[in-house]
Amino acid sequence: MTQPRIIKKYPNRRLYDTELSRYITLSDIRDLVMKGIDFTVVDTNSKEDLTRSILLQIMLEEESGGHPLFSANMLSQVIRFYGGTIQGLFARYLEESLTMFTQQQDAFRNTSNDPLKAMTDLAQRNMRMWGDMQQSFLKAAGLGGTQDNNKK
């Protein structure tokens, strides 16, 4: 696996791409994300990893645009998970859900034959995966056993 591209953040708030040897903007970092390029943003003074905060800045700019992805209700629900007993579990659940969604989107794009059959197959796989993930989530949260245990 290749090392992530290093972006340095200087005290003057400028971002420097060490691979391209030039200063870049948040828009350039957004392009890296869209291209799937792995990178890390590092504070030049403290050596602190600032990747998450830079990504959140990009999300804030996107959300301020015309078509936000997150409703106020959805953001409120996410905020309620901070500091709770299942915060880590919820984070893993969201990450796995997005990974599955991305994989399915790629699989759907790569089907060229019968779109109706592809959609049906995708829906069936979704139902199985969603059920498995939900069972895993509930079991890890201590809120229930597997379906097999419930049948006994």
Structurally, the chain folds into a number of domains equal to: 2
CA pair distance 13, 47, nearest whole angstrom: 14
Q: By the 8 A CB rule, do 44 and 7 touch?
A: no
Distances from the Cα of 141 to the Cα of 47, 76, 90, angstroms: 35, 21, 10
pLDDT tens-digit map of 126-149:
788 778 877 877 777 777 655 444
Judge if 83 and 143 occupy the same domain. yes
Judge if 55 and 84 occupy the same domain. no
Judge if 147 and 76 occupy the same domain. yes
Q: Where among 20, 40, 64 does a domain terminate? A: 64
pLDDT of residue 145: 56
pLDDT of residue 1: 64
Judge if 82 and 145 occupy the same domain. yes
Judge if 17 and 41 occupy the same domain. yes
Residue keyed to tokens 């790569």: 110
Q: Output 130 or 115, whichever has higher pLDDT.
A: 130
What confidence tier does 152 reach under pLDDT thresholds 50, 70, 90? very low
pLDDT of residue 21: 96
Judge if 22 and 77 occupy the same domain. no
Judge if 95 and 141 occupy the same domain. yes
Task: For residue 39, list its beta bridge partners.
Answer: 5
Task: Say which amino acid occupies 78.
Answer: V
Range of the domain at 13: 5-64
Q: By the 8 A CB rule, do 50 and 41 touch?
A: yes
pLDDT of residue 53: 96
pLDDT of residue 149: 46
Query: Could you tell me the pTM of the whole model?
Result: 0.71
Q: How much is the CA Rg of the chain, to the nearest whole Å? A: 20
Phi-psi region of 21 (alpha: psi -120 to 50; beta: other; left: phi over 0): left
pLDDT tens-digit map of 13-60:
899 999 999 999 999 999 999 999 999 999 999 999 999 999 999 999
**Any residues with CB less than 8 A from the CB of 97 and at least 6 apart, and which?**
133
pLDDT tens-digit map of 64-108:
987 899 999 999 999 999 998 888 888 888 898 888 888 877 777
Q: By the 8 A CB rule, do 48 and 38 touch?
A: no
